[in-house]
Each structure stands twice: as structure tokens, then as C-alpha cells.
């Protein structure tokens, strides 16, 4: 059974940095593109980053471009999101998802709170 | 960036009634359109992809239609477990992928 588990969310001060992880199991991770999506409290879904199966192609939403970096380790079945220069409006639950035709497998999310 | 607009924001229906949710794209997304269901405290669940294909385990009462810029999700007979927020999402060509703002289906 396909499974994604995010971790690394915590309280961080504005301007700080954080690295989120997403552990995959139950499928051949290296075959699939992956995305990060976030959801601010009480708000809708916002796609923020995407990485190809081999890690050679990445795309970002304008809201995070230049601050966030997506990467993956296929040997470890893991996806990462390095978040720098965090802002209060980055406060959200961050989900990783398997990106196929739509996003067919989601983790439960990890919460990032940016506050002084 | 392609903008996705959903209507209505809230849809009040009685159990057993049908529900029709709309999603409009600011430009054509061909058939690269998905629908998700999200319940409070849960992650989204893929319901429909490719405009009309049901994801694994999705009941047949859920159906999707449309093309180009206008899309519809229909729930033919709403069950208690269907009350949730529904999002459309386009994944046409290359990112950025974009979501609609969501439609909440609530009990009338």
C-alpha cells in the first residue's frame, strides 16, 4: 500500500530556515514525479514545488521561488523541501504528494508555523 | 499562470439529492483536470482525474465532465460521507499547477 509520511514541521522565527522530509513506501519511488502542496490555516490548497522522477527537473510557485528548494534521494525513498527566508505567510500544513495524472497519493502533512 | 475558479463557494444539499459543482479555467487545460475531496483534519483525496476518470475506490455516484475551460463534478445522490470541501486542479502541460478555491458541500 502506497504511503507518504511528512516530517520536520515546527515553530520557526521569520527569516529562519527549515527542512521538511517526506518518506515514501509501498511503491517504486524513483518512478514517480513528486510535488509539495501547502494549506494555510482555514484556506485552500496551494501547489508550491515539483520534482521529476530523476530529480533533474524542478518547478516552483512564484510565492516560494528563490527561497525554497525541492530535492529527492531515490536510494532512500525520500523527498525534501528546504525552506529558507521563511515568512509569516509561509505558515501552513505542508503535504507531499505523488504527482501522476493529478496527485494520487498524499501524506497527512506536517505543520510549519512562522512566528516571532 | 492558469486561474481556476470554482462555484458556488458553498452548496447546501440534503442527503439523497444530487450536487453539481463547477470549475472554470482561465484558459484551456484540455482534459488535464482533477477533483479532490478534503474532510476536516484530513489530507485531500483524489476523486477524479482526466476530467472524468474515477480514481481507485471512488464510488460511481461521483462523475466528472467538461472540456477545455468548463468542468463539472456531479454527485448523483449525496451520502453523509460526501459532505466535505472539493477542489479542482489543473495539471496541463507543465507547472505551475493550480487549484480552485474550493466548494464546500454542506448539509441543508
pLDDT confidence tier of residue B108, bands split at 50, 70 and 90 = very high
Q: What is the pLDDT of residue B39?
A: 98
Which pLDDT tens digit goes with each residue over A45-85? 999 999 999 999 999 999 999 999 999 999 999 999 999 99
Give B13-58 as a DSSP string.
E-TTS-EEEEEEESS--TT-EEEEEE-TTS--EEEEETTTEEPTT-
Distance from CA of A99 to the nearest CA of B (A): 10
Q: Which residues contact A65 (CB under 8 A, 6 or more apart)?
A: none
Q: What is the pLDDT of residue A26?
A: 98
Least confident of A21-30, A53-62, B89-98: B89-98
Chain A hits for B43, CB-CB cut-off 8 Å, are: 95, 106-109
Q: Per-residue pLDDT for A10 more than 90?
A: yes
Which pLDDT tens digit goes with each residue over B55-83? 999 999 999 999 999 999 999 999 999 99
Which of helix, strand or coil describes residue A109?
coil
CA-based radius of gyration for chain B = 13
Restricting to B residues 77-106, those with a Cβ less than 8 Å away from any Cβ of A are 87, 89, 91, 94-102
Q: C-alpha distances in angstroms, B27 versus B1, B4, B23, B102? A: 9, 9, 12, 19
Task: For an interface test with A, give the residue of B9, B44, B84, B102 to mutate (most A CBs within 10 A).
Answer: B44
Average pLDDT score, chain B: 97
In angstroms, rounded to a whole number, what is the distance separating the alpha carbons of residues B48 and B36? Answer: 7
In angstroms, rounded to a whole number, what is the distance separating the alpha carbons of residues A110 and B32? Answer: 28
Q: Per-residue pLDDT for A25 more than 90?
A: yes
Q: What is the pLDDT of residue B68?
A: 92
B52 CB within 8 Å of a chain A CB: no
Chain A hits for B53, CB-CB cut-off 8 Å, are: 101
Q: Which residues contact B8 (CB under 8 A, 6 or more apart)?
A: B22, B103
Which pLDDT tens digit goes with each residue over A78-107? 999 999 999 999 999 999 999 999 999 999
Which of helix, strand or coil describes residue A75?
helix
Q: Per-residue pLDDT for B93 more than 90?
A: no
Q: Which residues contact B81 (CB under 8 A, 6 or more apart)?
A: none
Which pLDDT tens digit goes with each residue over B8-26? 999 999 999 999 999 999 9
The size of the A-B interface in CB pairs under 8 A is 67
Contact A34, A72 (CB under 8 A): yes
Q: What is the pLDDT of residue B37?
A: 98
Q: Per-residue pLDDT for B94 more than 90?
A: no
Q: What is the pLDDT of residue A19?
A: 98
Amino acid at each position: 500500500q502506497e504511503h507518504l509520511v511528512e516530517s520536520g514541521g515546527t515553530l520557526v522565527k521569520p527569516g529562519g530556515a527549515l527542512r521538511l522530509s517526506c518518506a515514501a513506501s509501498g511503491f517504486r519511488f524513483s518512478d514517480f514525479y513528486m510535488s509539495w502542496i501547502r494549506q494555510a490555516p482555514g484556506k485552500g490548497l496551494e501547489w508550491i514545488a515539483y520534482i521529476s522522477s530523476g530529480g533533474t527537473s524542478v518547478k516552483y510557485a512564484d510565492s516560494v521561488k528563490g527561497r525554497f528548494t525541492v530535492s529527492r534521494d531515490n536510494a532512500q525513498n525520500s523527498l525534501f523541501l528546504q525552506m529558507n527566508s521563511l515568512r509569516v505567510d509561509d505558515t501552513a500544513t505542508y503535504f507531499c504528494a505523488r504527482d501522476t495524472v493529478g496527485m494520487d497519493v498524499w501524506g497527512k502533512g506536517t505543520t510549519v508555523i512562522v512566528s516571532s | 499562470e492558469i486561474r481556476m475558479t470554482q462555484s458556488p463557494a458553498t452548496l447546501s444539499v440534503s442527503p439523497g439529492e444530487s450536487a453539481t459543482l463547477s470549475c472554470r479555467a482561465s484558459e484551456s487545460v484540455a482534459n488535464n483536470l482533477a477533483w479532490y475531496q478534503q474532510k476536516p483534519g484530513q489530507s485531500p483525496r483524489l476523486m477524479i482525474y482526466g476530467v472524468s476518470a474515477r480514481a481507485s475506490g471512488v464510488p460511481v455516484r461521483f462523475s466528472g465532465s467538461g472540456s477545455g475551460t468548463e468542468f463539472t463534478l456531479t454527485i448523483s445522490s449525496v451520502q453523509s460521507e460526501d459532505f466535505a470541501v472539493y477542489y479542482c486542479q489543473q495539471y496541463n502541460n507543465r507547472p505551475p499547477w493550480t487549484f480552485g478555491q474550493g466548494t464546500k458541500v454542506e448539509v441543508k
